Chains A and B, each alone.
Chain A
């Protein structure tokens, strides 16, 4: 079948090339030096930075997205508001990259809309002249922008699974709102929430375009490091090392995604 020919050429072959290439030295002999040379300060730092940005943006996006999803769920299930929020989330969850970076440059750079507006009211968002937009904190803020909509999309089905009868049952047994959230809805939603947050983590960890458009230099996070190793024009391109980094990324993302799938299954026991 042409389908199998195609995927083996454009999906499986590249994957094999990455895996094989990560164990190959420059002369083609077998080596693990590509993986041991990940242990350089700037590469270790890029992994740590990437994990921190992903974790913080996943938690912030997860909580904010869950609140938004709950606000949507408590409304009319076929109403205009719900349709508007879900389709907007569909667009904004894919809204990474160059456009996102530009949007925040137009908003929060030194000549940005909000920066100037606040300045006119005597508020300086960059105290001591430290422009944090181009650093990790700025990147995290940008990531939250596409994490919240993704959370809405993946968490809505779980919230839809909550039955109003459960709340009524709690109330008829004399329980308060606090009891309901603490002993009924909370424990039921927890696996799904955790799973969705993991998905958000993987999403942020794999993101490249946004960081490239915002920062463009250095190896702040792993994708940027890979890109630099791949395209370095000064003859210092190290394809072997880039492949080793790619393999490490795939491993991390795969583990996180499998955990997500397990947690989703767990939450599916009650929320259908």
Chain B
């Protein structure tokens, strides 16, 4: 690469990163700025709105149920999806395409369209099963399917499932032992990834909750903004930072394993 081109490329890269950095960071910074404003433009900075978060029962309640929903969805996703995927890989490889199609289906059915079909279903659930907000977890399981399927599929592809399970079976292990003590520990990175993705997705979910008339975190934040813009923005920033930390963890998990695999190839 000659020097003139290298210089032009450097200028191009710096410009792009500066412009993009400004575009993406300013709105987030503005939220922090907005949430620390005093009562007037000249008032000193204050963290009052942040402290007010725990004083609003609706918000605390919504944060709690959203975290519960996130946990239930993650566990439910694993229980439902992982054994099915293992079973299909080992015994019914012909079903792979069908499972993949089903799992990726929610990507082409917009949430706002899917919820139209969920409304009658949830009317029935509210009357006949339970009117608890935790019932939303059933709908959220569908939402996280495409993302978790891909993650778990990549995880399963990276281990020699057939050999591992046959070895375990020949030593007398039952299927439960194979799943819990052989498959899960061998793909812990992918499983953690799938869980973190589900948590991030559930914490940010608005469409289903709003139209099925439940009050989860995002809906509560929107309601709170009609009462106090500052507090609602403070919660929004907090939720965003939480999701960011989760996904930062995600980007570091599983990397040592990747390095090991590369070393084995070499």
Contacts and interface: CB of A to CB of B under 8 A. Distances in A.
A268 B41 CA distance: 55
Contact of A3 (B81, B111, B233, B247): B81
A209 B201 CA distance: 13
Contacts of B41: 116
B119 A239 contact: yes
Nearest to A1: B84
B26 A206 contact: no
Judged by DSSP, the binding face of B is helix
Interface stretch (B29-37, B167-175, B182-190): B29-37
A90 B84 CA distance: 27
A10 B142 contact: yes
A62 interface: no
A208 B114 CA distance: 12
Contacts of A206: 110-113
A11 B146 CA distance: 12
A246 B34 CA distance: 37
B266 interface: no
Contacts of A67: 16
Nearest to B120: A17
B13 interface: yes
B157 to A, nearest CB: 17
A94 B201 contact: yes
Contacts of B218: 97-99, 209
Contacts of A18: 113-114, 116-117
A14 B117 contact: yes
B208 to A, nearest CB: 10
Contact of B110 (A3, A112, A177, A250): A250
A104 B27 contact: yes
B87 A91 contact: no
B87 A1 contact: yes
Interface stretch (B66-74, B99-107, B158-166): B99-107
Given A3-B84, A7-B102, A75-B13, A103 B117 contact: no
B236 interface: yes
B113 A226 contact: yes
Interface string A241-272: 01100110110011001000000000000000
A90 B139 CA distance: 23
Contact of A114 (B26, B80, B244): B26
Nearest to B35: A106
Interface residues of A: mostly helix, strand, loop or mixed?
helix
Interface in A16-38: 16-18, 21
Interface in A109-124: 112-114, 116
Contact of A10 (B31, B107, B141, B210): B141
A247 B109 CA distance: 9
Contacts of A170: none
B258 to A, nearest CB: 11
Contact of A98 (B81, B236, B250): B236
B102 A112 contact: no
B232 interface: yes
Interface in B20-74: 20, 23-24, 26-31, 33-35, 41
Contacts of A10: 118, 121, 138-139, 141-142
Given A14-B114, A102-B232, A242-B116, A257 B107 contact: yes
Contacts of B17: 68, 71, 81
A126 interface: no
A212 B206 CA distance: 10
Nearest to B114: A14
Contacts of A114: 26, 30
A87 B121 contact: no
A16 B248 CA distance: 39
B33 A113 contact: yes
Contacts of B121: 10, 13-14, 17
B59 to A, nearest CB: 13
Interface in B197-253: 200-201, 204, 206-207, 210-211, 213, 218, 221-222, 225, 229, 232-233, 236-237, 239-240, 243-244, 247-248, 250-251
23 contacts: A2-B84, A18-B113, A71-B12, A75-B13, A91-B244, A94-B200, A102-B221, A103-B27, A107-B27, A113-B34, A202-B108, A206-B112, A209-B206, A212-B210, A226-B113, A226-B116, A227-B210, A231-B211, A239-B119, A246-B116, A246-B117, A253-B110, A253-B113
User: A-B pairs with the 8 shortest C-beta distances?
Assistant: A14-B117, A206-B110, A106-B34, A103-B27, A113-B30, A246-B113, A209-B206, A107-B30
Interface of A: 1-3, 6-7, 10-11, 13-18, 21, 64, 67-68, 70-71, 74-75, 81, 83, 86-88, 90-92, 94-99, 102-107, 112-114, 116, 145, 148, 177, 202, 205-206, 208-209, 212-213, 223, 226-227, 230-231, 239, 242-243, 246-247, 249-250, 253-254, 257
